[in-house]
Chain A
Amino acid sequence: MRKVAVLGAGHTKFMFDSPKTEIEMLAEASMDAIQESNLKSKDIQAIFCGNVLGDFSEGQGMVQSYLADDIGCFNVPASKFEGACASATMAIRDAFMWVASGFYDIVLAGGTEKATAMGTSLATRTFAMFGDSRYEYPAGFTFPGVFGMLAHLYSDQYKVPLKKLKEQMALVSVQSHYYGKDNPNAQFRKEITVEQVLKGFMVTSPLQLLDCCPFSDGAAAIVIASEDIAKKLVSKPVYIAGVGQASAGKISSQYKYLPRIRSREISVKQAYDMAGLGPKDIDVCELHDCFSIASIIAAEGLGFAELGKGGELWEKGETKIGGKIPINISGGLKSKGHPIGATGASQVYEIAHQLRGELKDQGRQVEGAKVGLVDTLGGDGTIINLILKVD
């Protein structure tokens, strides 16, 4: 396998009710990524695209093909990856493998989503399609519902009183907004308080409004190329040092491990082993905080805290810049937004900027960061992890 690098990256603003179509958003992010890579559309050999609910939100399927044509990558093979909220990370991992294998030299990977066009009611219905439709949806499962159950289970299993856990969860959301306010691409650019989180209306117990990420519109894209090409084109290639992916069944069938997500432990081990690194080597992490409790569970699964102790990372400020493991300095899904087909590419965009040291102006730079970890969750337990590194 060859060494593979991320070159340019593009990112639209994440927002409610974007005036642009999914294809337009992804085309804008893609052209920015191609331009920043000092390339032209004709140099792209293949496209790997995440998109989940384009059919429900815009009546548009097969966005990848229309994207290729729109940006002048005429007739290149363009494939769509659907792994619910992890779709773009899945696309990027595959793009990485095709370049690493030598089959392609330069590819585009990214994702797009326009979830707010559905409205909350239909979006809640369609997001529930990534749970088990026959055995679990009939009971009224929603995505927040799954994480509400995990929160109660977590409290019971690790003997963290629910009141204390709720305060830790609130701190996760508060920190996300603290950094998101300085991210020009973020959907919510305002600080919130623990008190506000704990006063929000109940979505599904124990998750209140501000424990939950929003529905969002947006796109992000990156160019991936072999090391030799990357070195010729950009001054600071960001290498993909390790990748991992694992699947899981419906939530009830994961009972032996819950509230741990076993697939995350398998996926991140693949990535750590491939990179020859461990949790202590990670300088900055973007993890899948679809709900506040999800961040705490993810931080433990990725090896940053012992089981039942993840919330203490936020309590002690260890997840801030200057802490042991800065997490979601982009604002995370909570504040930056979560256009599900784009989220993984957005996480890679953020880590690439951190590793290139380009976030000083925004006041969000993790000084000297050399190794970053991306963690994305789709549905009940599809996990993709990527480790990015600069020399």
Chain B
Amino acid sequence: MEYTLDFKTYNDALKKNKLLGLKCNSCQKYTCPPKMTCQECADKNLDIVEMSGKGEIRTFTQTFVAPQGRECEAPYTIVLVELEEGPWIAGNLIDIDPGKVNMDLIGKKVKLGHKVFPGDQYSAGAAARPLFSFLSEGVK
């Protein structure tokens, strides 16, 4: 049985700043990032949809100790964002002074862009990740 939306298709779209997800025809809920079955009800009757890419920061961390090969990226901020359609997705946050990464981030509205992780010897190639920035200007 094939995936309705596999990683390659999802990743190719993300590289064009398009966030693809799945809408379940059984329970009407969304799954993003994609899976074989609906995240909510495990049904396979899914349609590919383009997500708005907008959402709200639910939590974050600012990482100073990076994995091998990514030391030059530190410090960087990882966020879990609740998308308008419901699911949560992981990405990075840009456009913020590293000294201002604190609890005030939670609840801030963000919009999606992307950045490509070029990959390392263990990653079987490159992969894009969501790169979020603040939705309204001046919230920094």
Residue numbers of A with Cβ under 8 A of B are: 120-122, 124-125, 128-129, 133-142, 144-145, 148-150, 152-153, 155-156, 162, 201-207, 249-253, 255, 258
Can you list 26 A-B contacts with CB-CB less than 8 angstroms, sorted by A residue number? A120-B65, A124-B67, A125-B68, A125-B69, A125-B120, A135-B7, A137-B123, A137-B127, A138-B127, A138-B129, A139-B78, A140-B63, A140-B73, A140-B78, A140-B92, A144-B65, A149-B80, A153-B58, A201-B64, A203-B63, A205-B63, A249-B35, A252-B90, A255-B58, A255-B88, A258-B59
Chain A residues whose CB sits within 8 angstroms of the CB of B59 once the complex forms: 149-150, 152-153, 156, 258
Closest to B31 in A: A253
Chain B residues whose CB sits within 8 angstroms of the CB of A140 once the complex forms: 63, 66-67, 70, 73, 76, 78, 92, 117
Chain A residues whose CB sits within 8 angstroms of the CB of B88 once the complex forms: 252-253, 255
Chain A residues whose CB sits within 8 angstroms of the CB of B129 once the complex forms: 138-139
Please determine whether B61 and A145 come into contact, CB atoms closer than 8 angstroms: yes
Q: Which of A142, A153, A156, A206 contacts B65 (CB 8 A)?
A: A142
Please determine whether A252 and B87 come into contact, CB atoms closer than 8 angstroms: yes
Please determine whether B67 and A255 come into contact, CB atoms closer than 8 angstroms: no
Please determine whether B78 and A141 come into contact, CB atoms closer than 8 angstroms: yes
Chain B interface extent, by class:
35 or more
Chain B residues whose CB sits within 8 angstroms of the CB of A137 once the complex forms: 117, 123, 127
Please determine whether B122 and A125 come into contact, CB atoms closer than 8 angstroms: yes
Given A142-B67, A255-B88: A205 in contact with B62 (beta carbons within 8 A):
yes
Please determine whether A148 and B128 come into contact, CB atoms closer than 8 angstroms: no
> Which of the listed residues A137, A202, A207 has the most CB atoms from chain B within 10 Å of its own CB?
A137
Chain B residues whose CB sits within 8 angstroms of the CB of A121 once the complex forms: 67-68, 71
- Using an 8 Å CB-CB cutoff, how does the interface string of B85-109 with A read, 1 for contact, 0 for none? 0011111100000000101001000
User: A145–B67 Cα gap in the complex (Å)?
Assistant: 11
- Using an 8 Å CB-CB cutoff, how does the interface string of B41-64 with A read, 1 for contact, 0 for none? 000000000000000001111111
> Which of the listed residues A124, A134, A250 has the most CB atoms from chain B within 10 Å of its own CB?
A134
Chain B residues whose CB sits within 8 angstroms of the CB of A204 once the complex forms: 61-65
User: A251–B101 Cα gap in the complex (Å)?
Assistant: 21
Closest to B103 in A: A162
User: A269–B39 Cα gap in the complex (Å)?
Assistant: 23
Chain A residues whose CB sits within 8 angstroms of the CB of B82 once the complex forms: 255
Please determine whether A149 and B7 come into contact, CB atoms closer than 8 angstroms: no
Chain B residues whose CB sits within 8 angstroms of the CB of A144 once the complex forms: 63, 65
Given A122-B68, A152-B59: A133 in contact with B78 (beta carbons within 8 A):
no
Chain B residues whose CB sits within 8 angstroms of the CB of A206 once the complex forms: 61
Q: Which of B66, B80, B123 contacts A124 (CB 8 A)?
A: B66
Closest to B88 in A: A255
Shortest C-beta distance, A78 to chain B (Å), equals: 27
Shortest C-beta distance, B110 to chain A (Å), equals: 14
